[in-house]
A and B are shown apart, each in its own frame.
Chain A
Amino acid sequence: MISRWMYISLVILYGFLLGPFVIIFMASFGANANLAFPPQGFTLDWFANVFETSQFVDSFWISLQLALLSTIVSLVMGIPVAYALTRFQFAASGLVETVFSAPILVPGLVIGFAMLNFFVLLGDMGVMTGLFIGHTAILFPYSVRVVSASLRNLDPYVEDAAVSLGANRLRGFLLVVLPNMQAGIAAAFVLGFITSFNNVPVSLFLSGPGVTTLPVSMLSYLEYYFDPTIAALSTLLVIFTVVLVQTAERVLGLSQFV
């Protein structure tokens, strides 16, 4: 009996998880000009429309650049911080850890609004720069946390071993510590990329004329149109994300970490 109930709850759970995607996926092929379910007819026009709408194509490139750049920079800054937090006990390490996790705890809308005000006070710095700083700031705690987790699994004495065998501290880090952080860095990269690429609240405030991220331009498109273009774009985004994660798993060996 238990297995039957478990089976039923599983079906319900997956229904709620995957159902919306199935509906969006099917709706993106519907011929009707309004988003409708069940879809009538079959067309690939909406997919074509995605690529013909310059707003989407431009903001896709912006989102892609933004996600790559802010993820990489947040990792370059986050790896040393994670290393310091896991390897050294210092007076303020608890405080530092709390401060670094603040962007996870504060609501995204609050961060976005606060950053907008802050950047306005700082003066004209350009929309792209603002977006880049904002995204790097929200990704930073994820980088620190995920990389720290992989470092905690590594015996701290391996560095001493490397040094006693003749490596200086830097070589010890590069030859022994860094290779063992690879999986953690890969996980942080994927997590950071997806977080940035999907972010709405911060981007909403920091976007500006001509410089908009993809999720924000999808929102503004929805304000004026309700045709299946958004459904088609959503389908493409799901495929894009799945391919990205799968590739990262293959190339960087994510599975051994997660």
Chain B
Amino acid sequence: MPHLEIHNLTVSYDKDQPALAQFRLDVEPGELVSLLGPSGCGKTTTLRSVAGFIQPDAGRIVINGRDYTHLPPNQRDIGLVFQSYALFPHLTVFQNVAFGLRMRRVPKAEVNTRVANALKMVGLEAFANRRPAQLSGGQQQRVALARATVIEPQVLLLDEPLSNLDARLRVDMRQEIRRAQQQLGITTLYVTHDQVEAMSISDRVVVMNQGKIEQIGSPERIFAAPETVFVADFMGFDNRFNAAVESVQADKLTVNWGGAPTELRWHSRFGSPCPGAKAEVFFRADNASLSSSSDASGLAGQVILHTFHGNEVQYLVETQVGEFSIMQDSAGERFENGAAVTVQAQTQKWIAIVE
């Protein structure tokens, strides 16, 4: 049985454009599911509805078999971690973490041991008597994590918890959050707009757009096989072009790629497409390679710009199909601006989406 069930949740701030429309999601016990999408996609609305700060217009929220939809937020037993940390500035680290236990009238001795354990988990035992203002951003977010988990909540909700941290700290904190979540086995919803963060921390990812779910799947699946144009675009497929479908088999379809018929994986929301339908073809910068023009097979093009990235060089190549961004190993053959090249497609990683 799922630990957290969200049934057909609908939230409208104004009538025309619902912030969240018929949102459905089941989260298994101990699972970490990310809600991924651009700002305004409804991910924070979902989170705040589960926390009880937003009363949905329709739908139900069920946790551990119990209907939470109309329960006030302070009776929900939910741990919340905010982007701004939201620590209590007038209390020490210890008092911050102890707050939820005090609200639950936990005996003092037990409070002491549980807070000490929580602080140990996040490596801040030595900071128990500091004020939040005396801690770094990363330390403050660790306190927030300890404060939200020490109450052993039914569900842990994290709202863009790493957005205020710098890039390196973000990676450390991400691992730390994941480790704590797995260690405690807490069912978790994680809101983020960063696709790398979502992929690296999640058991499953929910990609959202305009209040609706675009795709739910494992990070691997979302990364390799986007099902909609929005997901492909959001998951960082660098190149896209339009092509007409020539023929369709069960799991492959054929499009014309610079004069050559090319077989591609495909996905369509509305079943098998007809020949002649318009497909959007997506591929990443490392799903194609360049060779000097003497090589016959492939699409002819010309290098417009090259950018050195260390291990790789990124080429912007102009072809009759369009402009493509292509990554090459910097140790291999190098091309100058203006060089004539042949683009060789690794089409097994490409995907055609028909909408």
Contacts and interface: CB of A to CB of B under 8 A. Distances in A.
Interface in B61-80: 72-80
A258 B348 CA distance: 66
Main secondary structure of the interface of A (DSSP, over half): helix
B127 interface: no
B151 A157 contact: no
A57 B86 CA distance: 51
- By Cβ-Cβ distance, the 9 closest A-B pairs, closest first, are A166-B103, A165-B100, A157-B86, A164-B80, A161-B86, A179-B90, A157-B82, A163-B74, A158-B86
Given A166-B100, A179-B90, A180-B90, A161 B82 contact: yes
A164 B76 contact: yes
Contacts of B87: 158, 161
A163 B73 contact: yes
Contacts of B78: 164
Interface string A150-169: 00001101101111111111
Interface residues of B, number: 27
A207 to B, nearest CB: 42
Interface string B301-330: 000000000000000000000000000000
B230 interface: no
B51 interface: yes
B99 interface: yes
Given A157-B84, A157-B86, A158-B86, A164 B79 contact: yes
A157 B87 CA distance: 9
B72 to A, nearest CB: 8
B241 interface: no
A155 to B, nearest CB: 5
Contacts, number: 66
Interface of B: 51, 53, 72-80, 82, 84-90, 99-100, 103-104, 144, 147-148, 151
Most buried by B among A161, A168, A171, A179: A161
Most buried by B among A163, A168, A169, A179: A163
Most buried by B among A162, A166, A180: A166
A176 interface: yes
A169 B78 CA distance: 16
Nearest to A158: B86
A166 B74 contact: yes
Nearest to A159: B86
A162 B99 contact: yes
B136 to A, nearest CB: 17
Contacts of A163: 53, 73-74
B147 A160 contact: no
A175 B103 CA distance: 11
30 contacts: A154-B89, A157-B82, A157-B86, A158-B87, A160-B53, A160-B73, A160-B80, A160-B82, A160-B86, A161-B80, A161-B88, A162-B99, A164-B73, A164-B74, A164-B76, A164-B79, A165-B74, A165-B99, A165-B100, A165-B147, A165-B151, A166-B74, A166-B75, A166-B100, A167-B103, A171-B103, A172-B74, A175-B99, A180-B89, A180-B90
